[in-house]
């Protein structure tokens, strides 16, 4: 009887198979109701008393060995089955990958540059970290001008600051090229402002500059009218209100007829019929001379607009902060913009 146990143990230890069905068959053959191990266990009562202890231990060991063997075989066969199932099936249709979209500010920046590109304006860029000369002094800012104040400007040291407007780029362009100049300068600007629905410490501008002989205010008006109609629609009207900027004389603020009520008056335009979109003016002769352009020979106009402002008006976005939060629920709405 004891030899039979040993014999069976050897057989079981040597057993191997390749499928889960074979494992199940093995289980039935060994520890099933009529299995070899079960039958042997049934023989316990016939074992002479002095061998009962040894037989019991052996048969228990046998039973555990069978159970371990079954578990082990099952586990490894199941694993390899999963592995074969997860093999790449090249015949399956590809998974849909969702396309990203351009940021609304990029969409509008491109649109602005394209509009001016069509009438011969090139694109120029300058550094975001700027010196006092290019951001202020060359642009005719008096030394005590409030824009230089710590409250508005992020200073790095006495001389260097984060640019507060892209007008600094017009100085660089004038210093480095000869008229005729026709250029638009897009870029990020920085101001030390509390963040709210209407203000942010980082925003984007596009500056425009046109310098040649005999450039007049009428040229400026025509250019702005063309821009407004291209950007907001053929029926758009513009209105220029006298204003002040240190670097232009005369200066004006540009309004477009309200995009919502077409000038009739509504909440968006605060019942004025118009919305402000930018500043502009004839480049001050001092600025031309500061930048090495003879103001007796040349004249020019400049304008500057905020990309956020234009985007908010065009798409009726009511909170500036949306542009910086990268919330997909907001950004996804511009998927078809272009």
Where on the chain is the footprint of ligand DAH (CB under 6 A)? 165, 167, 207, 245, 248, 279-281, 302-304
Closest CA to 109 of 184, 46, 10: 184
The H or E element spanning position 181 is strand 181-190
The residue with its CB nearest to ligand DAH is: 304
Beta bridge partners of 243: 251
Residue 330 C-beta: closest distance to ligand DAH, Å? 26
Residue 106 C-beta: closest distance to ligand DAH, Å? 20
Please say whether the beta carbons of 257 and 273 come within 8 A. yes
Please say whether the beta carbons of 182 and 121 come within 8 A. yes
What is the three-class DSSP state of 103?
A: coil
Cβ closest to ligand DAH, residue 5 vs residue 282: 282
Cβ closest to ligand DAH, residue 30 vs residue 164: 164
Cβ closest to ligand DAH, residue 40 vs residue 308: 308
How many whole angstroms separate alpha carbon 74 and alpha carbon 19?
9
Cβ closest to ligand DAH, residue 32 vs residue 246: 246
Cβ closest to ligand DAH, residue 140 vs residue 167: 167
Residue 167 C-beta: closest distance to ligand DAH, Å? 4
Sequence-ordered list of residues with C-beta below 8 angstroms from that of 259, at least 6 positions apart, any chain: 232, 233, 236, 268, 275, 313, 314, 316
Cβ closest to ligand DAH, residue 30 vs residue 170: 170
DSSP class per residue in 190-250? E------SS--SEEEEEEEEEEETT--HHHHHHHHHHHHHHHH-TT--EEEEEEEETTEEE
Please say whether the beta carbons of 271 and 261 come within 8 A. no
Closest CA to 266 of 257, 277, 254, 279: 257
Cβ closest to ligand DAH, residue 139 vs residue 317: 139
């Amino acid at each position: 009887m004891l030899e039979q146990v040993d014999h069976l143990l050897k057989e079981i230890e040597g057993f191997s198979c390749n499928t889960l069905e074979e494992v199940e068959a093995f289980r039935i053959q060994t520890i099933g109701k009529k299995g070899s191990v079960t039958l042997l266990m049934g023989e316990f009562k016939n074992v002479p008393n002095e061998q009962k202890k040894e037989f019991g231990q052996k048969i228990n060991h046998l039973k555990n060995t069978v159970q371990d063997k079954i578990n082990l075989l099952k586990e490894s066969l199941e694993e390899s089955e999963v592995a074969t199932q997860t093999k790449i099936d090249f015949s399956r249709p590809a998974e849909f990958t969702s396309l990203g979209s351009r940021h609304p500010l990029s969409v509008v920046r491109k649109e602005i540059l394209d509009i001016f590109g069509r009438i011969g304006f090139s694109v120029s860029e300058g550094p975001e970290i700027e010196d006092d000369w290019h951001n202020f002094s060359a642009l005719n800012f008096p030394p005590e001008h409030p824009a230089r104040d710590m409250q508005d400007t992020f200073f790095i040291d006495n001389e260097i600051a984060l640019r507060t407007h892209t007008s600094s780029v017009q100085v660089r362009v004038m210093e480095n090229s000869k008229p005729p100049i026709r250029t638009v300068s897009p870029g990020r600007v920085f101001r030390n402002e509390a963040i709210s629905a209407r203000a942010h410490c980082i925003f984007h501008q596009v500056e425009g500059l046109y310098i040649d002989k005999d450039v007049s205010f009428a040229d400026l008006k025509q250019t702005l009218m063309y821009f407004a109609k291209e950007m907001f629609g053929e029926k758009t009207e513009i209105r220029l209100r006298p204003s002040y900027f240190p670097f232009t004389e005369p200066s004006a603020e540009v309004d477009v007829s309200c995009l919502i009520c077409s000038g009739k008056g509504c909440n968006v335009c605060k019942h004025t019929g118009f919305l402000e979109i930018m500043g502009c003016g004839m480049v001050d002769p001092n600025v031309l001379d500061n930048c090495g352009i003879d103001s007796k020979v040349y004249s020019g106009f400049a304008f500057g607009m905020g990309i956020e402002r234009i985007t908010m008006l065009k798409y009726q976005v009511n909170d500036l902060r949306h542009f910086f939060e990268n919330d997909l629920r907001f950004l996804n709405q511009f998927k078809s913009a272009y």
